[in-house]
Each structure stands twice: as C-alpha cells, then as structure tokens.
Homo-oligomer: A and B are copies of this chain.
C-alpha cells in the first residue's frame, strides 16, 4: 500500500534561474497560468488563441498565418518543423556549431533525410560564406541552423544563412529557441521559411510550449509532400485547422500554459521589442565586464556573443560541479554546466527575459566570487566594472 502522507507539500525554496533555461517566470504570468482551466472548444479560449498568435507574430517579426505554439517543449518544436518539411531522401544541409545543431542532425536522420552536416567550431558562429560554398556544392533542398546556440553562447547571422540558402532555392529553417524575445529574429525580414522556439527562455513563460512559424514556401513544400507526415501530434496541416478558422478538434490544448504564454507575450509587447533587446544587450555587457574584471574569460569571441547566454571558461583550480552546487545551495542561484565537448570546461549563465536585470547580474558576480574564494580559487570582484556599464560610465 502507498502511504500518501509521505508525499509532502511542494517547497523547492527560492531560486534565481540563471542557467540555460527555464528562466524565471514573473508572478503575473504565474497568476495567469493558475486561472481555472476552460474547455478546448470554449469561445473564450478561441479569442485567447487568436490573441496569442497575434502577439507571437509580433515577437517573431512575421505575418505568417501559420504561427502558433505547439503543445510540447522546444524539442517538440524542432521535431515539428523537421517532421513536416522533411521527406525520406530529401537532401538537408545542417550547420552544426554546437549541441543543438547535432540534435537537428539526429532528428533529420530519423526522418530519413539525406543529411549533409557542415561543422563549425563550438563557440563560434556559423560562417555564411562557408555555407554558401557548401550549398553550391551539394544543392540541398533544406538548410537548417541554430540562431542562438544555447550550448555555447554563439550568435549566428540569420540573414547571411538565409541568403546563402536562397541562392540555391533551398528552404531555410532556423532554431530560435534561445533568441526569440531577447534579440531580433525578424522572420520575414530575414527570409526564414520556418522556425521554432521555446516558451521558457527570453519570453519567460513556463516550459511546455514551443512557438513555431511556417512561411508560404514551407507550406507549399508540405502541400507537395508525396508521403504522409509521420507524426499526427505535430502535423501542422491538421493542427492548423484547430488554431485556424475551422476550430477542428486535434488534441486537448494545454490551456493553462497558453494562458501563461499569452500573458508573457503581453509583457513582451508592453515593454516593446527594441527596449527588451536593449535591456538584454546592456545587462550582457555588464555581466561580461564583471566577469573579465574578476579575471575570468568568455568562450565566444566578442563579435559573436549572444547577450542572453554567456559561456564563461571555468578557471583553473575550480571544480565545475562543486561550484554550481555551492551557488545553488548557498544562494538559490542556478547556472548551467557545459554540454557535450564543453562539459567541465564552461559555465553557462543565462540572463533571459525576467531574469535579465541589474540585481541578478550583481548577485551572480558577487556570489561567484564568494564561492570561488571559499573554495580556494583566487578571483577579484566584478561588481565595479558591471556597475560602470549599468551607470553608463
């Protein structure tokens, strides 16, 4: 028999989420999420769904009608974009400059793609010139790349990637999981044919939804498919009939997550995209100034850095896991470790959405100094340099 008394009330304690995501969620969004659930065919829900799409188009910078949150996390979004657009035998060029580029390859292969993998060093951006050459050489039908590599903190040039693909008539797919809401994505301006993101990064909604967008050329490719889309759950042609005018039942929408997501998007719109991007950039500059003042260094060259995800090289003498555990236990502060080849070599510090502010950066710098000092690793203070950036000195 199960003793129900052994399961206690939830009590995780306070956290400052400065890892690679999820980021912190505002009280306002948490309250919206706990609005009592309503049915998936409720007329009020349809209104909320329409508004969510309108807000999402604004954040994505697109007029694509087919712009909506898929009912799964960012990985579901990645799979949704690929499963709808790839048919077995399709030649797909994937640009890999980190862990999530490899994920793209993994999923493309499972779908039977004729995969061409183009590697760039981890911690560097995708080089559009190299892509251009490869596209000419192999003539892919689809080119895919990661805008903001969460595993390294490198920012790639979406416009350059897109132009390189377009010259050969290929569709271009972009992973915008970590970029959306923190830096400009500009789907239409950059000619991106399909993209996916996550609710829990710079939009600062709880995890569980993955906003996707499909442009005209992507929809044409779907219509021209010779094979059925292998996934029913992620089939955009049917899912679009639920989000679109027909309102045909497809699955039970995670209503509370949609409530939360809309509220978070509303907060993005209230702040304004430009102001939000500027906030991320300023906070990032302060973080880097502080980190460098402490005597630590960044993984990614300055011109290729993301603002919202900062990979800091672990200094000699510091023990990766021990430092992160001390930050979590002593300060309720979560940062991320390295993924793949970077495991044990970098810390990943996220300043995404709600989390991205002066208080958290100052706390992080001071807490890191405190933990490293306590563990016998000599570093200086980073607060003065960060302050100078915030004060515009």
Query: Using a CB–CB distance below 8 Å, which chain A residues touch chain B?
Result: 2, 4, 7, 10, 12-15, 17, 19, 21-22, 24-25, 30-45, 48, 51, 54-55, 58, 71-76, 79, 83, 103, 106-107, 109-111, 198, 200, 206-208, 228-233, 249-257, 259-260, 262-263, 266, 269-270, 328, 334, 336, 339
Check B54 against A229 for contact (C-beta < 8 Å).
no
Number of copies of chain A assembled together: 2
Min CB gap A247→B, angstroms = 12
Q: Which of B2, B37, B256 contacts A24 (CB 8 A)?
A: B37
Q: What are 13 inter-chain pairs, A to B, with CB distance below 8 A?
A: A7-B269, A15-B38, A22-B37, A22-B252, A24-B37, A25-B36, A31-B34, A37-B207, A206-B257, A207-B252, A207-B253, A207-B255, A230-B231
Check B73 against A254 for contact (C-beta < 8 Å).
yes
**8 closest A-B pairs (Cβ-Cβ)?**
A208-B254, A75-B251, A4-B269, A30-B34, A34-B34, A206-B256, A2-B58, A4-B270
A230 CA / B229 CA spacing, docked (Å)? 11
A270 CA / B2 CA spacing, docked (Å)? 9
**Chain B residues positioned under 8 Å from A109 (CB to CB):** 228
Check A30 against B25 for contact (C-beta < 8 Å).
no
**Chain B residues positioned under 8 Å from A339 (CB to CB):** 249
Closest to A259 in B: B10
Check B207 against A254 for contact (C-beta < 8 Å).
yes
Min CB gap A345→B, angstroms = 17
Closest to A267 in B: B4
Check B2 against A55 for contact (C-beta < 8 Å).
yes
Min CB gap A166→B, angstroms = 28
Q: Given A42-B328, A75-B250, A24–B36 Cβ distance below 8 Å?
A: yes
A36 CA / B31 CA spacing, docked (Å)? 11
Q: Given A33-B34, A33-B256, A71-B72, A107–B232 Cβ distance below 8 Å?
A: yes
A231 CA / B76 CA spacing, docked (Å)? 9
Q: Which of B4, B42, B250 contacts A12 (CB 8 A)?
A: B42
Check B12 against A208 for contact (C-beta < 8 Å).
no
**Chain B residues positioned under 8 Å from A231 (CB to CB):** 79, 83, 110, 230-231
Check B251 against A73 for contact (C-beta < 8 Å).
yes
**Chain B residues positioned under 8 Å from A19 (CB to CB):** 39, 41
